[in-house]
Structure 1
């Protein structure tokens, strides 16, 4: 029995070392394009491996689209970019049935949503009707058209970008849609050394065009399975539930965290632990992904006086909940 347990532990350690190696390979590959933003890159990869969807929200010109393209190029899988505009129709995204005169039948022509990674660029510029076409795909990994449900190929990830500053000609994402994004991240401006590196790179070969895949789709699926196997102690699960309950009682929060938020925080926490080479999760893993996984899921009260933004409110929720302590 002891020998079998030792063999299982050795196999598990080896699997997580492989996970860490592949994770580092993906992040290093993306870093060839996105300079000086290791944290944002790691969160994007964590989102992919946790089988979630990513919302990149930042001002123009900081690399939102480049991050999405670099992540897509790092995986040997299909990916499509859709430029969201006010005249984009749901059928432009999902697909449409075309009548074939030779067979006198309708043939379904799949839209760009039938890809492993879908970049929804400037998602808030499309109408709510078109935005809602993503809801079923993001939640159930399938789309329904003409009364037929069609599964999407695994792995499947939506990476959406939006500019939070410019609001003219945009449609705000509803809470039901925001809640389907596992993580929301901002890239931010680069530091001085990274911006100087960008200037040095200017005029040389386009790093994004020459970026090649470093993992296969099958390896991504294997890594996602490893994420699901990461151990989470009962006390840590209780910590997640306590965080959700604290958000629902917070005086400045009108709409607290949903049960889906708790489930997705657990998935992001497991992916964070696996990325650090561990097969068990800790409270630090929860805190590392907490703001990115939770801040976009709450609604602040209109009468709270603008004292807090969403990130501040989530930080107060974390401060209010005691961290579980391991028992010897």
Structure 2
């Protein structure tokens, strides 16, 4: 029997727990459920204790953030698999079994993502994950079902079990020992793209990541940082560069990093006009931070990929396909990862 634990990280999230925990409890009765609390000051811990006594609690005295909270909690759990589940996710009947079946049948698969639809519009894919994530030649992320701001309606067009580059951190099933062996989520990322980095390291270590269409969840999303905030722009651009520095083969990094910075400068002009000069300054800050932390980031590089020819990276520029060719749907790219 597969041994799975469902792990929700909480910080002052009483409202989300009250809304979304009922579906998790109803549809996950055969699995252990953990709520990991990052030093909450509201009554969310008391709510869980009184309403769901069957849920196990891991309590920290301070807020270690998304990455740190999971990194400290996962080693305390003794199951074969864990699912990192956001507290703003509604799950559905039989959501775990198809994924566990994939783990059983494909030993090389170490992480899996279900179909992620929008909680607000359940006929559309959700931004952070959709039907599985990819990156392009320059490390820009996109999804089956979502390219930049274009979200597709779910018309069963992604009903195949596919090899993907990254699985969304909002609902990430992963082999627990693999998570530990990889060092967990990189706490230097703070927020945004930390799961992409983890999955890239997983691929480099010889594992695989897949999308499972037979499991569906609904994600509220947008709870970490408002996209109108310059801090979000800063993190997106800084972490995008960190992804390349940490994981890209050196023979490609020497030309990709300078080109990526030039491409970001194009985005800087666009952001400054559309969102305000503070967002352009946030991109400059991201570049400066990347350069200053370059020795530290380089020290975290993997010393060699065991899987370099098998990693599903889109070998074209997604921005060119989207903004110039007008391809708004993943199917228009005419590309398959496997």
TM over 0.5: no
TM-score, normalization: structure 2? Answer: 0.27
Which has the larger helix fraction? 1
**Which has the higher relative contact order, 1 or 2, with Cα contacts under 8 A spaced 6 or more apart?**
1
TM-score, normalization: structure 1? Answer: 0.28
